[in-house]
Structure 1
Amino acid sequence: MSFLGGLFGSVCEIDVLLNDAETRKTAELKKEDGKVEKHYLFYDGESVSGKVNLNVKQGGKRLEHQGIRIEFVGQIELFSDKSNTHEFVDLVKELALPGELTQNRSYDFEFMQVEKPYETYTGVNVRLRYFLRVTIVRRLSDLVKEYELIVHQLATYPDVNNSIKMEVGIEDCLHIEFEYNKSKYHLKDVIVGKIYFLLVRIKIQHMELQLIKKEITGIGPSTTTETETVAKYEIMDGDDIQVPVTHLLLFFLYKSFCEYFVS
């Protein structure tokens, strides 16, 4: 089973074969253009190993190079400035010294117990990605091919997960308290909460709760914030509802939101 492959015209075909390609799980990755692709899935601390296969396409001709290498890269890039990327992981394996290729060659590689501190993510303005990059160094222009990988983090439950309480209102008119059963949630959790009406001296026509995803990129003046309403739940609706001054307790449930990254 081939893990993607690339053609560089009639010069050389580069292909990467993972050692455990037949048994390794895959996951879906949403690209910048909205398309969904499947790539091999890795976790923090797992090794990445396989073969780089080079198929020389120019029959009888020599392919001179200044060296061949493969890199394991973890990278963060802003869509607005792709020339300014941050590589938080960059491991290099030299596959061949300077020389020439006259026939097909295969090179083994292995990155042992690779630290992958963050999870793969594609957002509105930023992308965090992992990939293998094969480079055939040449005098005029290098031959480069990249192969996407997906990284998931195995979450652990926090030792402390206290409930959250908040207060909102209008002085002498409305006083409401919100309570959430805990402060940290798994993506497949159900969020359970309570709403207390402690003081109501105005008529309420409508109440709803929203689950919002927020993405913050950049530092200082260049900070950009994108928000998206993931879900919206109506908990009260009517024409000029008059809530009694006595305590009113409402229970609400947020559905599972495992398809979303929520901050």
Structure 2
Amino acid sequence: MAGIMRRLRSIIQPATISIALEGENGKHRIKRASDGEDEVLLPLIDGREPLRGTITIQTASGQRIDHKGITCEFIGQIELFGEKQQKNNFVSVLNQLEDVGAIQGEQTYRFDFSQIRKQYETYYGTNVRLRYYIIVKIARSVMANIIHEQEIVVRLLEKEPQENKNIRMEVGVKGSLHIEFVYSRSKYHLSDVIIGKITFVECRLKVKYMEIAILKKETTYVEGQSYTDSDNLMKFEVMDGAPVKGEVIPIRMYIKNLDLTPTFPLTDSTFQVKYLLNIVIFDEEDRRYFKQQEITLWRKTLV
């Protein structure tokens, strides 16, 4: 019986394939949900570092596998979800590990994709994801191909912006409300603190309370149409109660623990991600007065 089970396993899974990145033991790992919704740990790399490693193939019970070739491919892909799903490979580099032949037992191969530019950062969004992965394929004539995929998280570090002007905004209702908002900068790294102040220059309106929120706007582009998904990441109540003329309220918002990414400008003509500061004022009749200001987020550290 045990022999029969071993033979069955060798038919169902004739070989196991593993991919090890160079220096993997010293790399961070990022927890992500897989397509099956189970969480997996994915290796994290700096987009500037070389991508090299080894591939190990172990045939089941020393079984011999005839093949039409063994390949290793590095792919960068943008995938759109929703009604009009589509996938687009912006990077695809194929290495031939073996020509037609056979393998038996354990075989190890080296791969090197160091010369490939990783121009975008990995992104997991609501309607789009940008990912990188290595796929190993053992091509066979009669039986199904044997395929193994390893996803890799790529992050791109940036230098401190040379120009980082402050933000000034005004909200006003003629004759009854004039508020000035000042933020110390317009660009923030992902562990930063947003510092600013609110000044009530004129306030005859009966203000009930005021909120500042950080909004994320993800826009995807499909067949000439755009689709935007907005997410309120953080809501900060600035004040509760009526302010007086000349009152100044300091603002200090810590963004380190929010689920943030860098700002994505239009990426491969497929999607973009923006972040905005959204100010909302509620009066006693529950009318809303709001103002939005875009900010730029950038990555300072790998984790």
Bin for the TM-score computed over the shorter chain: 0.7 to 0.9
Give the deviation of 1:51 after TM superposition.
1.9
In the other structure, the counterpart of 1:125 is 127
The counterpart of 2:177, out of the listed 174, 177, 199, is: 174
CA–CA separation in structure 1 for the residues paired with 2:98 and 2:36: 36
CA–CA separation in structure 2 for the residues paired with 1:174 and 1:32: 51
Question: How many residue pairs are counted as aligned between the two chains?
Answer: 252
Residue 37, structure 1, aligned to residue 36, structure 2:
no
Residue 144, structure 1, aligned to residue 143, structure 2:
no
1:185 alignment partner, SS class: strand
Give the deviation of 1:159 after TM superposition.
0.8
2:188 alignment partner, SS class: coil
Q: Name the amino acid aligned to 2:177.
A: L
1:117 alignment partner, SS class: coil
Give the deviation of 1:68 after TM superposition.
0.8
In the other structure, the counterpart of 2:251 is 252
Deviations, residues 25-55 of structure 1 (Å, cap 9, x unaligned)? 3233355676543222111232222221212
Change (3 A) 1:195 1:30: farther
Larger mean CA deviation between 174-183 and 216-225 belongs to 216-225
Give the deviation of 1:17 after TM superposition.
2.5
The counterpart of 1:229, out of the listed 224, 227, 232, is: 232
What is the root-mean-square deviation in Å for CA atoms of aligned residues? 2.5
Residue 15, structure 1, aligned to residue 18, structure 2:
yes
Any gaps of 5 or more consecutive residues in structure 2?
1-9, 262-274, 276-303
Any gaps of 5 or more consecutive residues in structure 1?
1-6
Change (3 A) 1:181 1:35: farther
Residue 193, structure 1, aligned to residue 196, structure 2:
yes
CA–CA separation in structure 2 for the residues paired with 1:47 and 1:204: 56
Whether contact under 8 Å (1:18, 1:50) holds in the other structure is yes
Q: TM-score, normalised by structure 1?
A: 0.85
Identity %: 34
Change (3 A) 1:89 1:198: same
Give the deviation of 1:153 after TM superposition.
1.3
CA–CA separation in structure 2 for the residues paired with 1:188 and 1:91: 35
CA–CA separation in structure 2 for the residues paired with 1:17 and 1:30: 21
Whether contact under 8 Å (1:46, 1:113) holds in the other structure is no
